[in-house]
């Protein structure tokens, strides 16, 4: 995973960063915690400039958030509940979990979108209740962009500052990244196996 992401970033530059961050929001087994630090590494080694790395990551992340926002807005509460009722096991979500996500969003609104973009897993899910609630598109994009920008900046700077230790970091990050992916897949399968519909 480490080698594949690194070579993809080196070959594709800013477009690759944006594409991977978009995919990270759509397909969680590609974690931003690997993409942006590696992009920061490459920036420190003379690749895509750091400022463009951060902006590209933010743009891709925002595009992914907007996609899920549009899904929530298009489906609406009733259709999404029907989808969960029918395919809840594979979505690993129950109507009560949707209720909790919506209640949390209703309590915190814009703050939920902003801080949600800084929390793994929540980063993607927070867009759905925002869309269902028909939060203003401009407001959603503004707070999502701010949260995504901070997240991408933090991760890219971490990679940029560790550039001097690139070889040492790469030795443990490659197996670690594979463990992260396998762990995410394992958690998903566990939730599918243990899934129980609301009584």
| Mean pLDDT of all residues belonging to the chain | 81
Query: pLDDT tens across 60-95, in order?
Result: 999 999 998 998 899 888 888 888 778 777 766 777
Q: In this structure, what token pair is assigned to residue 152?
A: 């991408």
Please give the pLDDT value at position 194: 76
Please give the pLDDT value at position 127: 87
Distance of CA 71 to the CA centre of its chain: 16
Q: In this structure, what token pair is assigned to residue 160?
A: 């940029």
Distance CA 85, CA 99 (A): 13
**DSSP codes, 114-174:** HHHTTSTTHHHHTHHHHHHTT--HHHHHHHHHHHHHHHHHHHHHHHHHTGGGHHHHHHHHH
Query: pLDDT tens across 101-128, in order?
Result: 778 788 888 888 898 888 776 777 788 8
Residues 6+ apart with CB under 8 A from 37: 155, 156, 158, 159, 162
């Amino acid at each position: 995973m480490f080698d594949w992401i690194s070579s993809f970033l080196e070959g594709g530059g800013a477009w690759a960063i944006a594409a991977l961050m978009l995919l990270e929001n759509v397909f969680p087994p590609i974690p931003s915690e690997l993409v942006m630090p590696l992009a920061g590494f490459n920036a420190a080694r003379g690749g895509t400039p750091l400022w463009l790395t951060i902006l590209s990551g933010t743009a891709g992340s925002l595009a992914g958030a907007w996609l899920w926002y549009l899904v929530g807005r298009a489906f609406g509460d009733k259709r999404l509940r029907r989808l969960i009722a029918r395919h809840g096991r594979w979505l690993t979500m129950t109507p009560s979990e949707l209720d909790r996500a919506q209640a949390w969003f209703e309590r915190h609104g814009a703050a939920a979108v902003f801080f949600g973009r800084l929390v793994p897993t929540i980063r993607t899910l927070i867009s759905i209740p925002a869309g269902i609630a028909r939060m203003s598109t401009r407001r959603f994009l503004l707070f999502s962009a701010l949260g995504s920008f901070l997240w991408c900046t933090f991760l890219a700077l971490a990679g940029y500052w560790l550039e001097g230790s690139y070889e040492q970091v790469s030795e443990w990050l490659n197996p670690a990244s594979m463990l992260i992916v396998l762990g995410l897949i394992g958690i998903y399968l566990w939730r599918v196996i243990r899934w129980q519909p609301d009584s």
